[in-house]
Amino acid sequence: MMRKPYLIFALTLVWLWPLQPAAQERAPQAAPGFNPQVAQERGTVRIQGRDNLGDDGPVAPGQEVLLDHPEEMRAFIQNISDYARKLKPNFVVMPLNAQDLLIKNPEEEEENRLAPARTFMKAIDGMVVEGLFYGERKIDRPRNKERLTALLKLIEVAQRSRLRIMVVDYAKSRKIVDQSYKANAKKGFVSFAANAHGLDLAAIPPYPRRPINENPKSVLSLKDVKNFLYLRESLRFGRQDEFAMKMHDTNYDMVIVDVFHGRKPLSKRAVETLKYKKTGGRRLVLAYMNIGTAASYDFYWKKEWREGSPRWINTPLRDDPDRYYVEYWNPEWQKVITGNPKSFLYGIVRQGFDGVLIDGIKATKYFSRGGEEEEEEEIEQ
């Protein structure tokens, strides 16, 4: 018999994660807090902070010439932070690959004239950078020195604002793994050497066998984190309870996981189990959340949605045709993510997570480029 607290919790979150055990895959669901009729009407474009009704039909990326895409993303993340901390004051907010948002005038070459985005940096606790030293696109490959220098300059801006910097390098070779941990430690970054990209990041890397700087003490804030684990998929660990117990059998100071385990969200009990190390010490558990793209397999996706309908659904990603860029500044999309009891963020907080890792920042660059994805050769030359 289900205990009363869990019954109340289940009823509270039924809007967010409707469970259909008989289904063979996640069934498309109506977006939380989203009116399907409004979705079919004309969208809005924010121009200099104001809503502007556009013409019928999708708007080509880049046509909203007065839209400051980086500033809109900063404002969105700030709103996420404000709302989360109203619900849970110590909630951790960390964007992924947000280094380009740290400066308001990135074209400025003279360092003493750079304009740090201070309001944005006060809204976050730190940030995670992928492939800083190794493996941004190809595992074990070192980053171009010129680009690395530019990135480190941006990261220094965050460090001066006392933000915690964490790095996910991608490496399989033991030699490269060791070099990655050494290079990050030298800069004062907490790092994790992942052995796969994206959704293939579904297991604990075999090397090193134990966390670097393994720490038996309880970790109650980001400043105490000495190591972490980042996973994008948990099904390979078995059932939810098996996954939670296997994570419990490790001593990572922080774990970052997807909210869903297959078709079902991690239960509150599973999240609570994840919060404890093998030593019995407490640790932080962060949820992964993408705010710049939406996929047809995401829980909030409606079956009638497609490119251009609702208007804020833009083109599919080149390497993932089931995932679409979204006009993240659109109020209707933001309602799906945050700001109300039917939003994704509300469910994450109520499920017991200590914080959130915010992905999808690359949508800023996509729209700033007029709807063009960054070419691989631009990154790795």
Q: What's the mean pLDDT in 131-148?
A: 96
Least confident segment among 27-31, 76-80, 127-131, 273-277: 27-31
The token pair that represents 310 in the structure block:
């609702």
pLDDT of residue 109: 58
Mean pLDDT, residues 150-165 taken together = 95
Average per-residue pLDDT for the chain: 85
**Mean pLDDT, residues 29-56:** 36
Q: Flag the least confident range among 10-14, 92-96, 124-128.
A: 10-14
Distance separating alpha carbons of residues 348 and 340, to the nearest angstrom: 12
Q: Are 256 and 283 in contact (CB under 8 A)?
A: no
In this prediction the pTM is 0.82
**Amino acid found at 369:** R
32 upstream amide cis, omega within 30 of 0: no
**pLDDT above 90: residue 369:** no
Phi and psi (nearest 5°) for 301? -70, 135
* Mean pLDDT on 91-100: 98
Structural domains in the chain, sorted by start: 31-380 (3.20.20)
Tokens linked to 335: 């309602």
295 φψ region: left (φ > 0), alpha (ψ -120 to 50), beta (else): beta
pLDDT at 29: 40
Sign of CA dihedral 73, 162, 126, 190: positive
Which of 112, 98, 118, 220 minimizes the C-alpha distance to 165?
Answer: 98
What mean pLDDT do residues 360-364 have?
97
Closest by CA position to 139, among listed 237, 205, 225: 205
DSSP string, 222-269: GGG----EE-S--GGG-SHHHHHHHHHTS--SEEEEESEETTEEPPHH
For every residue of 359-374, DSSP letters joined together read E-THHHHHHHTTS-PP
Q: How confident is the model at residue 370 (pLDDT cuts 50, 70, 90)?
A: confident
Give the model's confidence band at 379: pLDDT under 50 very low, under 70 low, under 90 confident, else very high: very low
* pLDDT tens for each residue of 274-283: 999 999 999 9
3-state secondary structure of 155: helix
List, for residues 315-353, the tens digit of each pLDDT value: 999 989 999 999 999 999 999 999 999 999 999 999 999
Average pLDDT value for residue range 59-79: 81
Whether residue 350 contacts residue 279, with contact meaning beta carbons closer than 8 Å, is answered with no
Confidence of residue 59 (pLDDT cuts 50, 70, 90): low
